[in-house]
Amino acid sequence: MKRIFMLLLTNFAVVVVLGIVWNVLDSMFDITAIFHQMGLPAEFGYIAVMALVMGFAGSFISLAMSKSMAKRSMGVQVIEYPQTPQERWLFNIVQRQADKVGIKMPEIGIFYAPEPNAFATGARKNAALVAVSTGLLENMTSDEVEAVLGHEISHVANGDMVTQTLLQGVLNTFVIFFSRVVAYIVGALMRGNNNQQQGGGGYGATYYIVSMIAQMLLGFLASIIVMWFSRYREFHADKGGADLAGREKMIAALRRLQSVNQPHDLPGELAAFGISGGLKAGISKLMMTHPPLEERIAALEGHKY
């Protein structure tokens, strides 16, 4: 659950900061009064635009920071000039796969972790980062590593990072909008219609408390949708890895993950674009970024994508 907590915390923190900025701008430029002049409903019109701006801005800010944050948080050492045979081999494989799917050569990095893992991130297809763990290089054969790299290159070529960001932006917008609407209605009922106040800063403590609680609950439901999408895209990335490296190599790589100690979770949004996947049950399964490995292997063996 660590990866889910960090993902939700990062998204929540960005939205909170944007909310503070929005309130400051509203107090300085009286944005609510502008909505009045435009003939928009003072409360819901204001909330709708605020939700749209904050929802998508939060997602795209996170996407823009994804590569630099990945390098720092995972301690990724980018290979600028390959020095060893292993580094030259990684470069050649990634270059060949990138050429095959029609994207520019991504940055290649290695991060220290005893568990086999890998991830891809970046704001654009042609400015991505693909990183592998030392544990993956030590515990997998060259054929299996090639398949894992194909899986990650497929994530990049499929535009999964941008697509997931757009989905997160839409969900953020709905979460912010409906949490504020619920808070406004609850606040109005508690104050009484005669005491309703206008403006972004005049709703009172009840409004902010209720909106915070509603945002957390709705945000949890939205995260279930994001995780479902992540699991769905994993099957397509597996197919891409099979196309680039060979079906048997991709299956062998997934079986290798089953045979070693379960890979540890990657932090935050990186989890959605890694290679690992385990088996969970109940509500935990809804929050998995990856389908169970046995399901992914079965899909490859049965040619189901």
Measured distance CA(258)–CA(262) in Å, rounded: 7
Measured distance CA(167)–CA(222) in Å, rounded: 10
Token digits of residue 214: 């509603």
Question: Higher-confidence residue: 69 or 281?
Answer: 69
Closest by alpha carbon to 153, among 249, 273, 288, 3?
A: 273
Measured distance CA(10)–CA(165) in Å, rounded: 13
Structural domains of the chain ordered from first start? 2-71+162-222 (no CATH), 79-157+229-301 (3.30.2010.10)
269 is catalytic: no
| CB atoms closer than 10 angstroms to residue 249 | 21
What is the chain's mean pLDDT, rounded? 79
- What pLDDT is stored for residue 35 in this prediction? 58
Catalytic residue among 43, 107, 146, 152: 152
Residue 53 has pLDDT above 70, yes or no: yes
C-beta of residue 120 within 8 angstroms of C-beta of residue 70: no
Write down the pTM of the prediction: 0.75
pLDDT in tens, 70-110: 888 889 999 988 999 999 999 999 999 999 999 999 999 99
Q: How many angstroms from the chain centroid is the CA of residue 75?
A: 19
- What pLDDT is stored for residue 305 in this prediction? 54
- What pLDDT is stored for residue 17 in this prediction? 66
Helix axes 142-157, 247-259, angle to 10 degrees: 110
Q: Which residue has the tokens 């494989």?
A: 93
Question: Higher-confidence residue: 15 or 101?
Answer: 101
